[in-house]
Amino acid sequence: MSKKALFQHITSRLFSSSKSQFNVKSRLNPVKNIYQSSKFLILEENDKKSYKYPLVWLRDNCQCVHCFHQGSSSRTINWEKFSVNQELTAIERCEESKKVTLTWADGHKSIFDDNWLLSRNFSPENQKTYLSTHYRPDKNPVWGKNDFQKILKKFDYSEVISTDRGLFEWLETLSRRGIAILQNTPLTRDECRKLANRVGFIRKTHYGEEFEVIAKEGTSNVAYLSSALQLHTDLPYYDYKPGVNLLHCLVQSQSEGGFNQITDGFFVAQKMKEDFPAYFKVLSETLVNWSDIGQEDGNKFHSIYRAPVIMLDHEGKFARINHSVPQRDSFFTVNVDDVELWYQAMKKFVDILHDETVVFKTQPGEILTFDNIRLIHGRTEYKDNTNNTRHIIGSYLDWDEIYSRLRVLRSSLQC
């Protein structure tokens, strides 16, 4: 008897002898039928839905103690000896335990829970849901100036600090919309740190862990001047650019200035793509040298990172925006004949950017939190006086930590 015939014999015996046990009896038991077809295990959830699982993937993901370490949720199967040509000799499913047992040609057995298999099904709908929730919340909607009042949400600081639901709501909003404001924060210095620790930990840069935005002489960064701060993203000269800015307002300027300016860079990129595709191509393909030279607390630094203004991911989606007039290096290592076109494209980008910028003024007790990968921010000029010195404390968080916290919270809150 050939292997295929043997397999068919065994499976048909298994199924014919206990056919009724593959009928759906409840929502918790959605598996109707299970069989092999070519190099796949087919799992029928009902008459309309069936899913294909590659045999090699099933063997690779065996959950037994030899192949998987439950305590660390880690695969431990020995890949040096792993074969990509896997064959089954039997498929059994136990109705009571809701488990599927696969017996491989070498005698090894793999046992899978129905729900484990179903939640990992390869259908496009399931993968879309996984990617837009479990992996990372979709960054939408992108928003322009006219949408800002609709998308801006404010959260109570103590709710975020003391409840998981509050923390989740803030991070989820920040992730999808790129901006959120926390209110009623104590006017004490270490609130950004407390907030960062609530999520994960502060992201350190060459400016330290917390930075004070307060006008000071002899500064190493233009942010520490009281003059206008042109629209920019922070630290574009880092390959691993800080993900989120936390700006805690302790004292706001009573002068005419000191306004926050902010724009959704992905919205600007979208407009460029639709209305000026040739410029969009230039800005998404030309590598610009971003740099920062200076010293902080006696430590000299010289950072450089080459990246386009509009960075795209492997699927062509917007991945990151880089824009900073002060931090754009005069070394421009591109073909000399391409330079002028890049400037024309950049000028258009900045024109749209300014058209779509919103202006507001955070108040003492507010922490402005925004996505530094996506949003572009600035500040208008202000004047301090002896009774009023504008004082902001800032720090950064990384998206890896935020996404991790969101997944943990989504699981514990079951949302």
Residue number, 66 or 150, with CB nearest to Zn ion: 66
Cβ-proximal residues to 54 (8 Å cutoff; 6+ apart), any chain = 39, 40
In the region spanning residues 27 to 66, those forming contacts with Fe ion, defined by CB under 5 A, are: none
Q: Among residues 86 and 261, whose Cβ is nearest to Fe ion?
A: 261
Binding residues for Fe ion, how many (CB under 5 A)? 1
Q: Which two tokens stand for residue 244?
A: 């989120």
Distance CA 279, CA 227 (A): 31
Considering beta carbons, is residue 210 or 234 the nearer one to Fe ion? 234
Whole-number Cα distances in Å, 113 to 23, 44, 117, 128, 153: 16, 14, 6, 22, 41
CB of 87 to Zn ion, least distance (A): 15
Pick between residue 277 and residue 326 the one whose CB is nearest to Fe ion. Answer: 326
Amino acid 77 reads: I
234 binds, among Zn ion, Fe ion, none (CB under 5 to 8 A by kind): Fe ion
- Per CB under 5 A, contacts with Zn ion among 345-404 are none
Distances (CA, A) of 192 to 42, 97, 223, 262, 375: 51, 48, 18, 20, 19
Report cis status (omega within 30 of 0) of the bond before 141: yes
Residue 67 three-state SS: coil
Q: Within 10 A of 285 (CB to CB), how many other CB atoms are there?
A: 13
The two three-digit tokens of residue 358, written as one number: 């919103």
Nearer to Fe ion, 111 or 215 (CB): 215
The yes or no reply on residue 292 touching Fe ion (CB under 5 A) is no
Q: Which of residues 198-257 bind Fe ion (CB under 5 A)?
A: 234
Q: Which is nearer to Zn ion, 106 or 351 (CB)?
A: 106
- Binding region for Zn ion (CB under 5 A) out of 24-32, 48-56, 57-65, 179-187: 57-65
Q: Among Zn ion, Fe ion, none, what binds residue 111 when CB lies within 5 to 8 Å by partner kind? A: none
Choose from Zn ion, Fe ion, none: what does 64 bind? Cβ within 5-8 Å by kind: Zn ion
DSSP state of 243: -
Q: In the complex with Fe ion, which residue's Cβ is closer, 234 or 356?
A: 234
- Which of 67/118 has CB closer to Zn ion? 67
Query: What is the smallest separation between the CB atom of 298 and Zn ion, expressed in angstroms?
Result: 56
CA separation for the pair 399, 371 (Å, rounded): 9
CA dist 73 and 19 (Å) reads 34
How are beta strands 179-183 and 154-156 bridged, if at all? parallel
Total chain residues near Zn ion (CB under 5 A): 4
Backbone angles phi, psi at 250, to 5 degrees: -95, -45
Strand partners, 51: 43
114 binds, among Fe ion, Zn ion, none (CB under 5 to 8 A by kind): none
Cα–Cα distance measured from residue 6 to residue 316, given in angstroms and rounded to the nearest whole number: 47
Q: Which stretch binds Zn ion (CB under 5 A): 2-10, 62-70, 146-154, 196-204?
A: 62-70
Instruction: For the CB of residue 207, give the shortest distance to Fe ion in the complex, in Å.
Output: 11
Q: Which is nearer to Zn ion, 77 or 161 (CB)?
A: 77
Residue from 3, 25, 64, 300 in contact with Zn ion (CB under 5 A) = 64
Site string for Fe ion, 298-327 (x = CB under 5 A): ------------------------------
Angle between helices 164-177 and 191-199 (to 10 degrees): 90
Cα separation, 87 vs 56, whole angstroms: 8
Q: Which is nearer to Fe ion, 14 or 246 (CB)?
A: 246
End-to-end CA distance of the chain: 51
Pick the stretch among 59-67, 264-272, 327-335, 348-356 that binds Zn ion (CB under 5 A): 59-67
Least distance to Zn ion, CB of residue 126, Å: 24
Minimal distance in Å, beta carbon 282 to Fe ion?
25
Q: Does residue 62 bind Zn ion (CB under 5 A)? A: yes
Q: Select from 61-69, 81-89, 213-221, 229-237 the region that touches Zn ion (CB under 5 A).
A: 61-69
CB 64 to Zn ion: min, Å = 3
Smallest distance, Zn ion to C-beta of residue 204, A = 42
Which residues, in sequence order, are CB contacts of 196 under 8 Å at separation 6+?
Answer: 202, 203, 246, 395, 396, 397
Taking the complex as a whole, the smallest distance from the CB of residue 244 to Fe ion amounts, in Å, to 12
Measure CA 52 to chain center.
Answer: 29
Q: Which residues contact 122 (CB under 8 A, 6 or more apart)?
A: 51, 52, 53
Which residues are near Fe ion by CB under 5 A? 234
Which residues are near Zn ion by CB under 5 A? 62, 64, 66-67
